[in-house]
Structure formats: structure tokens, C-alpha cells
Amino acid sequence: MRRPPKFSWVVEGLVAAQGRPTLPGHLQYLCENNVKYIVTLTKTKPRALLDIPGFLTIFVKFCSDYCCFFLL
């Protein structure tokens, strides 16, 4: 699986950042790279990130939309 657009490791293999993952392939890439937690920094809960098997999704409400970051 190819790396999703706007995905990068902040700390290689530990903390990553990405624009909102919306396609199943984006989530598959995260799963294949041992990502376990998704923290969203948005105004609303992104539908694509609700109740994803294998992930713990944490929603942090902000006044404007930001990107997501991931922890292993």
C-alpha cells in the first residue's frame, strides 16, 4: 500500500501527521504501519474516523479544522 497524501512521520515509527484520512486505503496504510491511535483536531467528528476497528479515535474539538496526528 502506498503512503497516503500529506502523510509524514514526525518521529519515525512513533508519531505521524496527515491531512484527514478519508479513503479506506489511507486507513489500511495506517493499520499496516502499526498506527493504533488517531487524534483529530477538527470542529466536528469526521465520519470516516468513527468506529474504525483496530483504532482508538480521540476527538479534540477546535474552533477551526486542523490535521490529524497518529500515535503508535
Q: Which residues pair with 14 in a beta bridge?
A: none
Closest CA to 33 of 42, 41, 21: 21
- Enumerate residues 6+ apart whose C-beta is below 8 A from 32: 1
The one-letter amino acid code at 9 reads: W
Judge contact between 58 and 37, C-beta under 8 A.
yes
Q: Could you give all domains of the chain from N- to C-terminal order, each with its CATH number? A: 8-71 (3.90.190.10)
CB-count burial class (<10 Å; 0-12, 13-18, 19+) for 16: buried
Q: What is the pLDDT of residues 9-25, one digit of tens each?
A: 989 888 888 887 778 78
**DSSP secondary structure letter of residue 22:** -
Residue 28: is its pLDDT beyond 70?
Answer: yes
Mean pLDDT, to the nearest integer, of 46-52? 67
pTM: 0.66
